[in-house]
Amino acid sequence: MACLEEKNKCDVRISRFVMPIGATINMDGTALYEAVAAIFIAQLRKVPLSFGQLVAVSVTATMASIGAAPIPQSGLVTMVMVLDTLGLPAEDITLIVAVDWLLDRFRTLINVMSDGLGAGLVEYLSKDELRAMDEADKIKGKIRNMALAKEVRETEWLNSHT
């Protein structure tokens, strides 16, 4: 978040709202990984895939990635659901375990970059609302200062007349 706020000048209100949500449910890298890995395993097993199966794998991988924990190698756990969609045994996960440590780094990179992109997009689309909120906060601050000044004057008047 610091990089997003300091280097990319993203509004703090946006980054601190969007990034935690994105880290939890926006797992683009994980969804891509699970779909590609399932298709790779199917091709390795010489299982022909229809268009409907490819769509089912894409949808299942997307849904599984939303439910995946944001921890290293959590994609391996949800991969079982994706393989089940194709009717492949869960044991086939062992075919990609050897390279998962490397692919996990790319998954994380894609996840973090897409979260940052999402925050930038939300900020761009809510620029006018943020500006209006800033103006409203300034007006509220002026009103609060005027009320405090009035209280001080009244207190001083009461103190001087007692």
- pLDDT tens-place string over residues 124-157: 999 888 888 888 878 887 888 888 887 878 777 7
> Closest by alpha carbon to 33, among 113, 102, 107?
107
- End-to-end alpha-carbon separation of the chain, Å? 55
Chain segment 30-41, per-residue pLDDT in tens: 899 999 999 999
pLDDT-based confidence at residue 52 (cuts at 50, 70, 90): very high
Angle between the 28-44 and 94-125 helix axes, to the nearest 10 degrees? Answer: 150
Give domain limits for the chain. Answer: 2-125, 127-162
Kindly state the tokens that stand for 155.
């207190």
Does the predicted model carry a pTM greater than 0.75? no
**What mean pLDDT is reported for the chain?**
86
